[in-house]
Structure 1
Amino acid sequence: MARHPEYQYLDIVEHLLEKGDRRLDRTGVGTFSMFGVMMRFDLSDGTFPVYTTKRVFWKTAVKEMLWFLTGQTNIQSLLRDNVRIWTDWPLDKYRKATGEQISQEAFEARILADDDFAQAWGDLGPVYGKQWRRWRDADGKEHDQVAAVIETLKTNPSSRRMVFHAWNVAELDQMALHPCHMTYQFHVSGLGGGQEKPKLSLLVGQRSNDIGLGNPFNICQQAALLAMVAQQVDMTPGELIWAGGDVHLYSNHVEMARELVRREPRPFPKLRLLRKPDSIDGYRIEDFEVTGYDPHPAIAAPVAV
């Protein structure tokens, strides 16, 4: 019997617990770190790699991916969709700038209620979506990297240049958070003909990864992206291949990590897209039907800002 693919993740967690390099980090929390990791997940039978050793709120992860695809950079639209995972950074900036120890709930309520306040304090700078969909070159021209990749998949699927990325050196200092998942490269196999559709695979390069909180979200949302792009170009999802650079466990996540490795993975759920929008811009969370997800209970852990 094949080993459950989630053990790739649990092996990383276990390695960090046992052999991780103890480091001080940007957040001041401290981490256990390792460098250079790869995982592979086969999506060709409809498998959706949502980890099962703790509950992953997959809808929130997919909503974040859909938000990236809009090209927006303000948390107001995320909050309207009940997604709070980006609030910590603008909230921290607001508290430091004003000295007002406003609660997260009150800050979010003001962002939602007051467009001027949202414009002043809710923007994250030119983060992922801006770079993916509106990369500005030295002449001021904007480039839609995602649309360009999809067009190449349709017209020249054997290309080795089907890449989009967010590491825009000129704009890094304006971003609330430097891009962690940086490069997305697509690859098509099975172009030689035959009965089956070609398979579309995705390699994601991630320079920095919080294994406890970030990675479960990243894998899930990157699989969702692969499913969407494959549908748009009439291919079957192949493999999601994830390559991590500095992969780390925060020191205040150690108890969560120990509990994770004690748990036994359950079968991954299946994903079905209920309709095919006209373009990559047309997907909504209601289009994602996930069945058979029966995880172990959630484990609470703090985010490091």
Structure 2
Amino acid sequence: MQHPETQYLDLMERVLTHGDERVDRTGVGTRSIFGSMLRFDLSDGTVPILTTKKVYWKTAVKEMLWFLTGGTNIQPLLQENVRIWSDWPLDSYRRKTGEDISQEAFEQRILEDDSFAAKWGELGPVYGKQWRRWMGADGQEHDQISTLVKTLRENPSSRRMLFHGWNVPELGQMALPPCHMVYQYHVTSDGRLNSLMYQRSVDLLLGAPFNFVGATALQLMLAQQAGLTPGEFVWFGGDTHLYLNHIDQARAQLARTPRPLPKMALAQRATSIDDYKIEDFAIEGYDPHPAIKADVAV
């Protein structure tokens, strides 16, 4: 039986070998293909935390928990030692002030100075805002996550169990428009919760591994809240790319042999979807190859 991670490595090989090389928004350049799909079976507790390099899964889960708060400021992330969103506000601060501040110094000011954080740590109406506080034309806020949980519990055969973040009027206010933009759910007759995530833009080396973890962690939380068991996680990629400064790292990862995927479980049942903490997530059997360092394209 083929190792589930092989499909990710095959996709990376395809992008590397057949990707269309072109200039992108960041100026770094990419090799890109359009349209890709991966499937992972979560029913035995196995989750797609890649083993051909170390994935900092706690960081990915903390990010997902932050999305669920509806937050849009990096200060709470930094308080959890999550620095994956710092590049965008830091770049904005440098451009607007002309100050060549280091990332470490910038993050420290965000942590220590609430007024500085309120001004310079804000990302605009990104993921959490759209998921939990989508502003309708009627002036009413819509909590897509609460609606999803309610539907999973009360009408699990619905074909309308989804949420998304592509709020057209607010895209220009976002530090980065949503990449993983649509999530849809499906419940089988025997009580398994399947999920599908569509990602319009995929940084295959750095972004996708985190997105796999975040989406499956969310699937576990939703399943528990609705009294279901996890089923299959289906991932779709639109513009699936490797940055040109990630080529060597991709080749290094492709030279490694996958190890058994770990299992993830929730240590306890939270009262609501809003009450999960990082301590509620338990990982068993994660033995990855060493981490592979690469720069984020901003």
Q: TM-score range by the shorter chain?
A: over 0.9
Counterparts of 2:266 and 2:73 in 1: how far apart (Å)? Answer: 27
Matched, 1:269 2:262: yes
What letter is aligned with 2:24?
D
What letter is aligned with 1:39?
L
- The Cα of 1:161 is off from its aligned counterpart by 0.2
Matches within 5 A, 1:43-62: 43-62=42-61
Counterparts of 1:16 and 1:171 in 2: how far apart (Å)? Answer: 32
Deviations 1:157-214 (A, max 9, x none): 00000010000001000000000001000000025xxxxxx00000001100000000
Matches within 5 A, 1:42-121: 42-121=41-120
Counterparts of 1:287 and 1:64 in 2: how far apart (Å)? Answer: 14
Deviations 1:100-157 (A, max 9, x none): 0000000000000000000010000000000000000012110000110110011100
Structure 1 equivalent of residue 131 of structure 2: 132
Counterparts of 1:233 and 1:162 in 2: how far apart (Å)? Answer: 13
Measured on the aligned residues, the alpha-carbon RMSD in Å equals: 0.5
- Normalized against structure 2, the TM-score is what? 0.99
Deviations 1:262-295 (A, max 9, x none): 1110000011100101100000000000010000
- The Cα of 1:49 is off from its aligned counterpart by 1.1
Structure 1 equivalent of residue 296 of structure 2: 303
What letter is aligned with 2:37?
M
- The Cα of 1:16 is off from its aligned counterpart by 1.2
- Give 3-state SS (helix, strand or coil) of 2:237's partner: strand
What letter is aligned with 2:26?
T
- The Cα of 1:225 is off from its aligned counterpart by 0.5
- Give 3-state SS (helix, strand or coil) of 2:3's partner: coil
Structure 1 equivalent of residue 15 of structure 2: 16
2:245 paired residue among 252, 255, 264: 252
What letter is aligned with 1:92?
D
- Give 3-state SS (helix, strand or coil) of 1:13's partner: helix
Alignment: residue pair count? 298
- Normalized against structure 1, the TM-score is what? 0.97
Counterparts of 1:267 and 1:221 in 2: how far apart (Å)? Answer: 19
Counterparts of 1:39 and 1:209 in 2: how far apart (Å)? Answer: 13
Matches within 5 A, 1:181-196: 181-191=180-190
Deviations 1:1-36 (A, max 9, x none): x10010110011101111110010000000000000
Counterparts of 2:121 and 2:24 in 1: how far apart (Å)? Answer: 25
- Give 3-state SS (helix, strand or coil) of 1:40's partner: strand
Structure 2 equivalent of residue 28 of structure 1: 27
- Give 3-state SS (helix, strand or coil) of 1:272's partner: strand
- Give 3-state SS (helix, strand or coil) of 1:91's partner: helix
- Give 3-state SS (helix, strand or coil) of 2:274's partner: helix
Structure 2 equivalent of residue 41 of structure 1: 40
1:212 paired residue among 205, 211, 214: 205
Counterparts of 1:146 and 1:289 in 2: how far apart (Å)? Answer: 23
Counterparts of 2:16 and 2:274 in 1: how far apart (Å)? Answer: 40
- Give 3-state SS (helix, strand or coil) of 2:247's partner: helix
Gaps of 5+ in 1: 192-197
Counterparts of 1:136 and 1:17 in 2: how far apart (Å)? Answer: 40
- Give 3-state SS (helix, strand or coil) of 1:64's partner: helix
Structure 1 equivalent of residue 283 of structure 2: 290
Counterparts of 1:171 and 1:303 in 2: how far apart (Å)? Answer: 24
Show structure 1 runs of 4+ deviating over 4 A.
Answer: none
Counterparts of 2:260 and 2:189 in 1: how far apart (Å)? Answer: 28
Matches within 5 A, 1:172-187: 172-187=171-186
Structure 2 equivalent of residue 194 of structure 1: none
- The Cα of 1:48 is off from its aligned counterpart by 1.5
Task: Using the aligned pairs only, state the percent identity.
Answer: 65
Counterparts of 2:270 and 2:18 in 1: how far apart (Å)? Answer: 46
Structure 2 equivalent of residue 158 of structure 1: 157
Gaps of 5+ in 2: none
Counterparts of 2:185 and 2:15 in 1: how far apart (Å)? Answer: 29
Structure 2 equivalent of residue 195 of structure 1: none
Structure 2 equivalent of residue 243 of structure 1: 236
Structure 1 equivalent of residue 218 of structure 2: 225
